[in-house]
Amino acid sequence: MSYARLMVHLELGKSNAALLTVAGDLAERSHASLVGIAAAQPLVATPYAGAFISGEAIELDRAEIEREAKVAQSEFQTILSGRVADLEWRCMETTALLSDYLASEARSVDVIVTAPDRGGGLLPDTRRTSVGDLVMRAGRPVIIVPTHATGLKPERALVAWKDCREARRAALDALPLLEIAGHVTVVEVARKEDEAAARRRLTDVADWLKRHGILAEILVSPATGDDVAALSTLARAERADVIVAGAYGHSRLREWTFGGMTADLLLNPACCVLLSR
């Protein structure tokens, strides 16, 4: 099993070189095709649209979106041409939420590669998508690449296990990534009274992975009350190149509220993270 088609999301108005390098590494290892995608909202789609916006301002904004799109496409082609044989570029000016547009375009790919969520600001950002919203709506796994990444060599993978649907989905979606990893550890953070049951659960997961040709070690980590810190410590101890985890959250009026671990992985990943819902 391998990923056949990837999608890398580029944010307009900034360099995406680190992100493209990681996407290229994964596409090469998977012998996959790669879709580069970018999107922006015009000024008329922002909350300011109810106020007066001059025709000149609208035209200047559209010209800037077009300029930024050309720069992003050029960076995409420059970094990936010669590395990935099958490249495709897509870019859209849309009045929809950017996460909605990106999620709909994910119908033709196996996995999405993007940068961390930078969080919301006081002013509308017409170039930036909510990565958390994308993770929850895409129906595809999302690989989040930290800004300091220099590439992706997933020699050591850490699967953050929790006995629930999201973790099972993430482990399944990550199989192609885990197959190319040299070392896989499945870990569960558990209270002392639950450690034996956690070990049985992890043994089942390791056995399932083995049936897919993936050898995995299991590790039960004592709960300290701060699962985010526990996972970060484990990732450093295991020298993890990639973390696999389920995305946990609930929605109210389109605003997602995430669990502490999911929020930390969205905003501040120490290494590449595959999140799945």
Domain ranges, ordered by start, for the chain: 5-144, 156-276
At residue 257, the pLDDT reads: 39
Question: Options 2.40.10.220, 2.30.40.10, 3.40.50.620, 3.30.70.100; which CATH number does 156-276 get?
Answer: 3.40.50.620
C-alpha 209: how far from its chain's center? 22
Tell me, what's the pLDDT at 258?
43
- pTM exceeds 0.75, yes or no: yes
Question: What was the pLDDT predicted at 249?
Answer: 64
Tens-binned pLDDT, residue by residue, of the chain (277 aa): 789 999 999 999 999 999 999 999 999 999 999 999 999 988 776 665 555 677 787 888 889 999 999 999 999 999 999 999 999 999 999 988 899 999 999 999 999 999 987 655 544 578 888 888 898 889 999 999 998 888 888 899 999 999 999 999 999 999 999 999 999 999 998 999 999 999 999 999 999 999 999 999 999 998 887 777 778 888 888 898 999 998 876 544 344 334 455 566 666 678 899 999 8
pLDDT at residue 253, as a whole number? 35
What backbone phi and psi angles, to 5 degrees, belong to 123?
A: -105, 150
CATH 3.40.50.620 for domain 5-144 = yes
Q: What is the pLDDT of residue 49?
A: 55
Helix (H) or strand (E) holding 105: helix 98-105
Report the C-alpha gap between 83 and 24 in whole angstroms.
7
pLDDT of 247 reads 84
Specify which residues 258 forms β-bridges with. 249
The H-or-E segment that residue 72 falls in is helix 55-80
Please check whether the two domains, 5-144 and 156-276, share a CATH topology: yes
DSSP string, 120-139: --SS--SS---HHHHHHHSS
Count Cβ atoms below 10 Å from residue 53 Cβ, excluding itself. Answer: 15
Q: How far, in Å, CA of 56 to CA of 25, rounded?
A: 43
**Any long-range contacts for 64-70 (C-beta under 8 Å, 24+ apart)?**
65/12, 65/40, 65/93, 68/12, 68/13, 68/40, 68/127, 69/12, 69/38, 69/40
Nearest one of 40, 189, 187, 193 to 128, comparing CA atoms: 40
What is residue 197's predicted lDDT score, i.e. its pLDDT? Answer: 97
